[in-house]
Amino acid sequence: MSTTSINLSLEIWRQKDSKAKGDFETYKLTNISTDMSFLEMLDVLNEQLTREGSDPVAFDHDCREGICGMCGAVINGIAHGPEPETTLCQLHMRHFNEGDTLVIEPFRSRAFPIHKDLVTDRSALDRIIQAGGYVSVNTGGTPDGNSTPIPSATAELSMDAASCIGCGACVASCPNGAAMLFTGAKISQLSLLPQGQPERKERAMAMVTAMDKEGFGNCTNERECEAVCPKGISIRNIARMNREFVKASFF
């Protein structure tokens, strides 16, 4: 572990609330340890702003270990920054250089209104899940866990899709503002498993309809979503969703 310090120039999107017109503001940060995470760097900035009597930058974050999906911003045009398969909280400052200018913006999408600074409203993703991202089973009365064998490869494929953390980076990076990687991942997880079969068609229809209703766009195979996904979720899940949707519509 070799620790060095760098100086940075930050251009951060500042917006007072959802109605205000936002703009970029420039901040200088000196002596940033390269062992810091990106969010710790923002903590340092906020402590500095607080001591100066200015308003700290609002940003969402919680677990800081790359799994809750709460954090996220666009760094120099890339959602979650330049490291592949890494959330913003797991991005470390050693990936930046002395004197770098970092442009930091919220995840932008018609379906993600900005609350303040880097904090956005991603509740549209919750509403897609509410439309059908579940198996309709009540608590109790379920069969023994081993009563339906599931091939290991199928369980792993389902798990690949299920590892989505719902951060919304896929939406922010898509030129069409599509949420198809997110929606496709949940539809795939359940359509691959025997538990998901009874509601397979209704689920695909309902989730795709909800996705459209929320104002998300459609996939044109740009693959930007896959490139920024912190969990490496493949666009095969979008193909699977499309097949599920077509089958649900015609058969």
Partner 1 sequence: MELKSNVPEGPLAEKWDNHRFTSKLVNPANRRKHSIIVIGTGLAGASASATLAEQGYEVKTFCIQDSPRRAHSIAAQGGINAAKNYQNDGDSIQRLFYDTIKGGDFRSREANVYRLAQVSNNIIDQCVAQGVPFAREYGGTLANRSFGGAQVSRTFYARGQTGQQLLLGAYSALSRQIKTGKVTMHTRKEMMELVLVDGKARGIVTRDIITGKLETYSADAVILATGGYGNAYFLSTNAMASNVTAAWRAHKKGAGFANPCFVQIHPTCIPVHGSFQSKLTLMSESLRNDGRVWVPTKPGDTRRPGSIPEDERDYYLESKYPGFGNLVPRDVASRNAKEQCDEGKGVGTTNLAVYLDFAEAISRDGEATILRKYGNLFQMYEKITDSNPLREPMMIYPAVHYTMGGLWVDYNLMTTIPGLFAIGECNFSDHGANRLGASALMQGLADGYFIIGTSIASYLGSTKQDAVDSDHPQFSDAKKQVQGRIDKLLDCNESGPDGKLTVDEIHKELGLLLWDHCGMARNKEGLEKALTELPAIQEKFWNNVYIPGTGEELNQSLERAGRLADFLEFAEIMILDALNREESCGCHLREESQTEDNEAKRDDAGYSHVAVWEYQGDRGAPKLHKEQLLFENVTPSQRSYK
Both tokens of residue 119? 């904090």
Query: What is the Cα–Cα distance from 192 to 98, expressed in whole angstroms?
Result: 47
Could you give the string, one character per residue 67-86, with x where binding to partner 1 holds by CB under 8 A and - elsewhere? Answer: xxxx---------------x
Residues 113-172 touching partner 1, rule: CB under 8 A, are 115-116, 119, 121-123, 125-126, 129-131, 133-140, 142-146, 148-152, 154-156, 158-159, 162-163, 165-166
Among 1, 19, 221, 251, binds partner 1 (CB under 8 A): 1
Least distance in angstroms from the C-beta of 220 to partner 1: 27
Closest CB to partner 1 among 80 and 219? 80
Least distance in angstroms from the C-beta of 126 to partner 1: 5
Question: Can you list the alpha helix ranges (DSSP code H) found in 105-235?
Answer: 123-132, 152-162, 169-173, 180-192, 200-213, 224-228
Among 19, 21, 23, 53, binds partner 1 (CB under 8 A): 53
Residues 217-246 touching partner 1, rule: CB under 8 A, are none
Closest CA to 26 of 45, 41, 43: 45
Query: What is the Cα–Cα distance from 66 to 230, expressed in whole angstroms?
Result: 8
Query: What is the Cα–Cα distance from 149 to 135, expressed in whole angstroms?
Result: 17
Query: What is the Cα–Cα distance from 66 to 158, expressed in whole angstroms?
Result: 20
Closest CB to partner 1 among 16 and 213? 16
